Amino acid sequence: MNPILAILKEHNVSDAQIKDLFQTLTENPMAAMATIGQLGIPPEKLQQLMGLVMQKPALIKEAVVELGLDFSKVAAAKAQLQK
């Protein structure tokens, strides 16, 4: 299992919340950061999660594919952030 998804599931984040989070990530990455903060994940695990996202962005693609979402939207969101 993808380590990002594993951390979320470890903290009882529902499948629906995970899909919503990654859907938000594909549409508005900054909003996704706020959403992650509201999931009730302890600070040390939240820091680990954010570290994974920052150090290994390929994990986001793996998680999106594993969830059956459209990765092209993630790529478009990433391009928008770089402007």
| pLDDT tops 80 at residue 43 | yes
Q: How many CB atoms lie within 10 A of CB 39?
A: 16
Q: What is the pLDDT of residue 5?
A: 92
What does the alpha-carbon distance between residue 81 and residue 31 come to, in Å, rounded to a whole number? 12
Q: Average per-residue pLDDT in the chain?
A: 82
In the structure, what pLDDT confidence band is assigned to residue 14 with cuts at 50, 70 and 90? very high
| pLDDT tops 70 at residue 40 | yes
Give 71's contacts (C-beta < 8 A, 6+ positions apart): 61, 64, 65
What does the alpha-carbon distance between residue 8 and residue 3 come to, in Å, rounded to a whole number? 9
